[in-house]
């Protein structure tokens, strides 16, 4: 025991502090450990021959020449995998939904260009790649409809004959009498809005390494995934292995943005082949494969109308959403993930009594759509915020004012939207005011008007949105998927040295979770942050886990950490109370020191832990408790996050290129654990949102070929093209979640496309141009300007 005052001084709380990321020293020094860094002795490398046909029957496969190439060990097609693995079924209870089975390799029919057909295993990836050219595949082309609208039409060629239709998802959200409202509404605006297909373009390509332990009859899969627990569970079923003999490890992961958040055929493939050959099997995709075969995003058409009264108050909204979900319903999220969320989130943070949103998910011969940062909300926010601005222009009202009149206000929370989503409480109005105040909105308007008077194309755009974060069990069970996404478990233990180890089911892929969760634990336990090790990304750490997605980890893992830390702390204080002969309620802990409030008597965590584990007899057996706890947190519904984005742009009338000259985000993510990390997430999300607004687009031609399968054609934003981003944190009202945390990792991609679309439309408004498709590329702007010239030959359209 010690009585040194400086040893027992209470430390300030870590939550809320700008603590540098503890992950960065290893990552920035090149000491990270990614899947492609792992190549165990005897490993075989897989290269995959992919379909070059959008829809075709496989008549024959010839691999004799490939097998004769020195270094080639084996060639597999679907016939060789019979009996080795069962399909994954992305199930759902949605009425009328059809689940498309997912197999490692195409079985009899290919359904998109890029689908895996043949796997070549060789002693090196180079040999395997060379052998691909020697594999002969005979295809019988089948008819197809490349566009969702054509595929949904009666008589369209079917992609999956057993489904009987290409429309495998259909749902409607409705409240009130929307048609009656539109019959009588003084003001109606509408449009056909489209978010084109995107892909994640993570810095690290997808990579998988499977190894079979012959002695234990067990499999370990290292995967660049953000859902290792989900992958473990589904592969256990597919391979008919008990979970304790199948381990999925996600080491350092170089970004996901949703693209690594689903089961992939290549994961199934390497697992099955490693078991069959009893050798490690490794696959790493190249950039061409990543751009053409990683799950893609958006690709929705939203036909929507908004009804208002003469004062700009929203009356009703109706929409038809058609989602192009690609060739398969993805596991576990199903093809409903993106289009259904577009329809459910379309009313946004606004007061709206009458709504009807109908949605269809349509199969087409393209890569499956799946999770992508923001899921559904970038598209729904784009459509709704365009309608809000179009209404403001029609009414001659300021876009800020029309939002202020219609955003849900504090007394109205909890507010149930017309689609059934419940916003618990969030700073809708405060974020709008904060963004405009930070940017000095009146001054921006004057600057814009002065630029226009000088002949420049300058515009300002606002976008307000709300999202559900940290979703609990009440919502996660609703789609009827075969997984639980609504709970999270944390197992915390203090060992005999006083060190703290915390295991989680989440899996960080760049969010800084090792830092933020350590901050939460250190505060709750009263230990030093440097004594906390956060373990994650390993399905063996906990009995059940899922991963990181849907802005859930800070809320759910933070909540689970809080519960577990409280249990461990109570045990620690009871042990210290016995050792110090002081009541437990008279003790407090800070900085790894436990002290009595009424005296300078104190003990370190290490001293107490040694007494618990190694101090024979110091604590009576009936009072001795292991300094461990495993607790699960379920926020039940989750909580609303919200923000307002403000963008100012200028369009070059010579090149039609768009420059973002000013950008502000005011967001409410509850109590901020680490402002440094939150700011980084906001900045990265806005950069990605700018890419979606101005640059990024996956394009398939009429023959089903991807014509943007390189980074020369699929353009992503770069650092030099990003504006400085003003960030305002609004903590007006904390949610009821443990710790008062909200999720915020997806917000930049949700608000930025809509804000920039509104800014570009504002810049072009003197020409009578509206923006209805993203990305709004120079080519699209050129075509819109040319069309305006034809409509108004005498109108000035250049600087």
400-427 per-position pLDDT tens digit: 999 999 999 999 999 999 999 999 999 9
**pLDDT value for 478:** 59
In the listed set 575, 602, 633, which residue is the last one of a domain according to the structure? 633
Length of the chain: 799
**pLDDT value for 559:** 97
Residue 102 covered by a domain: yes
Q: What's the rounded Cα separation, in Å, for the pair 239 and 231?
A: 12
Q: What's the rounded Cα separation, in Å, for the pair 431 and 731?
A: 10
Q: What's the rounded Cα separation, in Å, for the pair 632 and 473?
A: 12
- Strands 281-284 vs 207-213: parallel, antiparallel or unpaired: antiparallel
Supply the range of the domain harboring residue 405.
Answer: 296-473+636-791
Residue 495 covered by a domain: yes
Any idea what DSSP says for residue 155?
T
Average pLDDT value for the chain: 95
Q: What's the rounded Cα separation, in Å, for the pair 234 and 229?
A: 9
Answer yes or no: is pLDDT of 531 > 80.
yes
**pLDDT value for 72:** 98
Q: How confident is the model at residue 738 (pLDDT cuts 50, 70, 90)?
A: very high
**pLDDT value for 2:** 43
579-599 per-position pLDDT tens digit: 999 999 999 999 999 999 988
**pLDDT value for 618:** 92
Least confident of 8-17, 181-190, 246-255, 601-610: 8-17
Q: What's the rounded Cα separation, in Å, for the pair 213 and 205?
A: 26
123-156 per-position pLDDT tens digit: 999 999 999 999 999 999 999 999 999 999 999 9
pLDDT higher at 617 or 492: 492
**pLDDT value for 421:** 94
Q: What's the rounded Cα separation, in Å, for the pair 194 and 775?
A: 9
**428 and 519 in one domain?**
no
Q: How confident is the model at residue 1 (pLDDT cuts 50, 70, 90)?
A: very low
Residue whose token pair is 């595929």: 151
**210 and 71 in one domain?**
yes
**415 and 506 in one domain?**
no
- Strands 187-199 vs 773-774: parallel, antiparallel or unpaired: parallel
Q: How confident is the model at residue 617 (pLDDT cuts 50, 70, 90)?
A: confident
Beta bridge partners of 465: 643
Percent of the chain clearing pLDDT 90 (strictly above): 93
Residue 517 covered by a domain: yes
267 Ramachandran zone, left/alpha/beta (phi>0; psi -120 to 50): alpha
Which residues have C-beta within 8 Å of that of residue 787, sequence separation ≥ 6? none
**211 and 72 in one domain?**
yes
Question: Residues 348-358: what's their mean pLDDT?
Answer: 98
**316 and 211 in one domain?**
no
| Range list of β-strands (E), 114-217 | 116-122, 136-141, 167-175, 187-199, 207-213
Residue 685 covered by a domain: yes
**627 and 587 in one domain?**
yes
Residue 58 covered by a domain: yes
Question: Residues 110-123: what's their mean pLDDT?
Answer: 98
How many angstroms separate the Cα of 53 from the Cα of each of 147, 264, 632, 705?
Answer: 16, 20, 47, 8
In sign, the C-alpha dihedral spanning 125, 127, 130, 132 is negative
Angle at which helices 399-406 and 428-439 cross, to 10°: 160
Q: What's the rounded Cα separation, in Å, for the pair 668 and 639?
A: 11
**540 and 411 in one domain?**
no
Query: Buried b / exposed e across 657-696, counting CB within 10 Å, b at 16+?
Result: ebebbbbbbbbbbbbbbbebbbbebbbbbbbbbbbbbbbb
Phi, psi of 194 (to 5 degrees): -135, 130
Answer yes or no: is pLDDT of 729 > 90.
yes
Which two three-digit tokens encode residue 628?
């461990």
Angle at which helices 399-406 and 377-395 cross, to 10°: 110
Answer yes or no: is pLDDT of 6 > 60.
no
Least confident of 238-242, 445-449, 731-735, 742-746: 731-735
**pLDDT value for 600:** 82
Q: Is 753 helix (H, G, I), strand (E, B) or coil?
A: helix
How many angstroms separate the Cα of 466 from the Cα of each of 67, 160, 637, 711?
Answer: 56, 36, 15, 32
**pLDDT value for 195:** 97
Q: What's the rounded Cα separation, in Å, for the pair 328 and 293?
A: 12
Which two three-digit tokens encode residue 236?
């256990």
pTM of the model: 0.96
**718 and 593 in one domain?**
no
Residue 768 covered by a domain: yes
**601 and 613 in one domain?**
yes
622-668 per-position pLDDT tens digit: 899 999 999 999 998 899 999 999 999 999 999 999 999 999 999 99
Residue 176 covered by a domain: no
Answer yes or no: is pLDDT of 686 > 80.
yes
* Number of folded domains that form the chain: 3
Distance, C-alpha 222 to centroid of its chain: 21
Neighbours of 270 (CB within 10 A): 29
In the listed set 633, 664, 685, which residue is the last one of a domain according to the structure? 633
HSE-CB at 253 with a 13 A cutoff on CA atoms is: 34
Q: What's the rounded Cα separation, in Å, for the pair 475 and 689?
A: 26
**683 and 629 in one domain?**
no
User: What is the DSSP annotation of 601-624?
Assistant: -EEEHHHHHHHHHTSTTTS-GGG-
Q: Is 108 helix (H, G, I), strand (E, B) or coil?
A: coil
**pLDDT value for 615:** 87
Q: How confident is the model at residue 794 (pLDDT cuts 50, 70, 90)?
A: low
Q: What's the rounded Cα separation, in Å, for the pair 105 and 85?
A: 11
User: What CATH number should be reported for the domain holding residue 281?
Assistant: 3.90.1170.50
**pLDDT value for 793:** 82
Query: Buried b / exposed e across 386-422, counting CB within 10 Å, b at 16+?
Result: bbbbbbbbebebebbebbbebbbeeeeeebebbbebb
Residue 155 covered by a domain: no
**pLDDT value for 547:** 93
**pLDDT value for 477:** 59
CB-based contact 199:698 (threshold 8 Å): yes
**221 and 86 in one domain?**
yes
Query: How much is the CA Rg of the chain, to the nearest whole Å?
Result: 28
In sign, the C-alpha dihedral spanning 751, 752, 755, 757 is negative
User: What CATH number should be reported for the domain holding residue 623?
Assistant: 3.30.365.10
How many angstroms separate the Cα of 85 from the Cα of each of 40, 95, 270?
Answer: 24, 28, 11
Which two three-digit tokens encode residue 322?
């058609």
**pLDDT value for 213:** 97
**614 and 529 in one domain?**
yes
Q: How confident is the model at residue 5 (pLDDT cuts 50, 70, 90)?
A: very low
Which two three-digit tokens encode residue 214?
């012959």
**pLDDT value for 8:** 43
Distance, C-alpha 170 to centroid of its chain: 23
Percent of the chain clearing pLDDT 70 (strictly above): 97
In the listed set 591, 615, 633, which residue is the last one of a domain according to the structure? 633
Beta bridge partners of 205: none
Which two three-digit tokens encode residue 476?
């996660």
Answer yes or no: is pLDDT of 799 > 70.
no
Which uninterrupted H or E stretch holds 283?
strand 281-284
Answer yes or no: is pLDDT of 513 > 90.
yes
Q: Is 232 helix (H, G, I), strand (E, B) or coil?
A: helix
Residue whose token pair is 């090792």: 514
Which uninterrupted H or E stretch holds 641?
strand 639-651
156-192 per-position pLDDT tens digit: 999 999 999 999 999 999 999 999 999 999 999 999 9
């Amino acid at each position: 025991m010690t009585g040194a005052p400086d040893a027992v001084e209470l430390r300030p709380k870590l939550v809320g502090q700008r603590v540098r990321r503890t992950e960065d020293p290893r990552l920035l020094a090149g000491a990270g450990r990614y899947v492609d860094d792992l190549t165990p002795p005897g490993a075989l490398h897989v290269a995959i021959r992919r379909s070059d046909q959008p829809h075709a029957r496989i008549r024959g496969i010839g691999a004799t020449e490939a097998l004769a190439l020195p270094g080639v060990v084996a060639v597999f097609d679907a016939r060789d995998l019979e009996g080795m693995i069962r399909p994954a079924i992305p199930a759902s209870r949605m009425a009328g939904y059809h689940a498309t089975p997912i197999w490692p390799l195409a079985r009899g029919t290919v359904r998109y260009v890029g689908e895996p057909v043949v796997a070549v295993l060789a002693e090196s990836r180079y040999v395997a790649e060379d052998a691909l050219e020697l594999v002969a595949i005979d295809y019988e082309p089948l008819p197809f409809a490349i566009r969702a609208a054509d595929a949904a039409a009666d008589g369209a060629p079917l992609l999956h004959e057993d489904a009987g239709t290409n429309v495998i998802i259909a749902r409607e959200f409705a409240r009130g009498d929307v048609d009656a409202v539109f019959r009588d509404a003084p003001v109606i605006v509408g449009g056909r809005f489209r978010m084109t297909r995107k892909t994640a373009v993570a810095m690290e390509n997808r990579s998988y390494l499977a190894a079979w332990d012959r002695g234990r009859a067990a499999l370990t899969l290292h995967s660049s995934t953000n859902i290792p627990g989900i992958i473990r569970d589904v592969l256990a079923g597919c391979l008919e292995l008990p979970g304790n003999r199948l381990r999925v490890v996600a080491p350092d992961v170089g970004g996901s943005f949703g693209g690594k958040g689903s089961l992939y055929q290549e994961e199934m493939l390497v697992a099955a082949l490693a078991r069959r050959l009893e050798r490690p099997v490794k696959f790493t995709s190249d950039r061409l494969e990543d751009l053409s075969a990683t799950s893609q995003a958006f690709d929705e058409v939203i036909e929507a109308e908004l009804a208002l009264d003469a004062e700009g108050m929203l009356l009703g909204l109706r929409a038809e959403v058609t989602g192009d979900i690609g060739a398969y319903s993805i596991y576990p999220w199903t093809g409903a993930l993106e289009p259904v969320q577009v329809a459910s989130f379309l009313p946004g943070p606004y007061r709206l009594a009458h709504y009807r949103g109908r949605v269809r998910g349509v199969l087409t011969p393209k890569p499956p759509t799946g999770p992508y940062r923001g899921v559904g909300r970038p598209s729904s926010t784009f459509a709704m915020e365009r309608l809000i601005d179009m209404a403001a222009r029609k009414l001659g009202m300021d876009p800020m004012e029309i939002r202020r009149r219609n955003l849900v206000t504090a007394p109205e929370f909890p507010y149930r939207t017309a689609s059934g989503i419940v916003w618990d409480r969030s700073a809708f109005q405060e974020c709008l005011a904060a963004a405009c105040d930070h940017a000095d909105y009146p001054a921006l308007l004057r600057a814009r008007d002065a630029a226009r008077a000088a002949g420049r194309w300058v515009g300002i755009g606002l976008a307000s949105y709300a999202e559900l974060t940290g979703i609990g069990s009440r919502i996660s069970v609703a789609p009827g998927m075969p997984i639980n996404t609504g709970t999270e478990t944390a197992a915390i233990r203090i060992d005999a040295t006083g060190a703290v180890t915390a295991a989680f089911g989440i899996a960080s892929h760049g969010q800084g979770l090792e830092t933020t969760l350590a901050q939460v634990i250190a505060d709750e336990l009263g230990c030093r942050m440097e004594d906390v090790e956060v373990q994650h990304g390993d399905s063996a750490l906990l009995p059940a886990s899922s991963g990181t997605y849907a802005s859930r980890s800070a809320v759910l893992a933070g909540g689970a950490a809080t519960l577990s830390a409280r249990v461990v702390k109570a045990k620690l204080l009871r042990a210290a109370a016995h050792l110090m002969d002081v009541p437990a309620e008279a003790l407090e802990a800070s900085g790894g020191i436990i002290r009595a409030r009424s005296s300078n008597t104190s003990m370190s965590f290490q001293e107490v832990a040694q007494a618990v584990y190694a101090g024979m007899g110091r604590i009576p057996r009936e009072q001795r408790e292991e300094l461990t706890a495993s607790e699960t947190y379920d926020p039940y519904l989750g909580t609303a996050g919200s923000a307002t984005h403000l963008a100012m742009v200028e369009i070059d009338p010579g090149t039609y290129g768009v420059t973002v000259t000013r950008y502000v985000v005011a967001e409410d993510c509850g109590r901020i654990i680490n402002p440094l990390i939150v700011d980084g997430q906001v900045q990265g999300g806005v950069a990605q949102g700018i890419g979606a607004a101005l640059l990024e687009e996956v394009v398939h031609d009429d023959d089903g070929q991807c014509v943007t399968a390189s980074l020369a054609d699929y353009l992503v934003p770069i650092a030099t093209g990003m504006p400085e981003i003003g960030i305002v944190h609004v903590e007006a009202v904390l949610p009821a979640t443990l710790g008062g945390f909200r999720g915020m990792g997806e917000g930049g991609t949700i608000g930025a496309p809509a804000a920039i679309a509104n800014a570009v439309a504002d810049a072009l408004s003197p020409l009578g141009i509206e923006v209805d498709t993203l990305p709004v590329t120079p080519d699209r702007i050129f075509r819109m300007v040319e069309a305006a010239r034809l409509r108004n030959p005498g109108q000035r359209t250049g600087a």
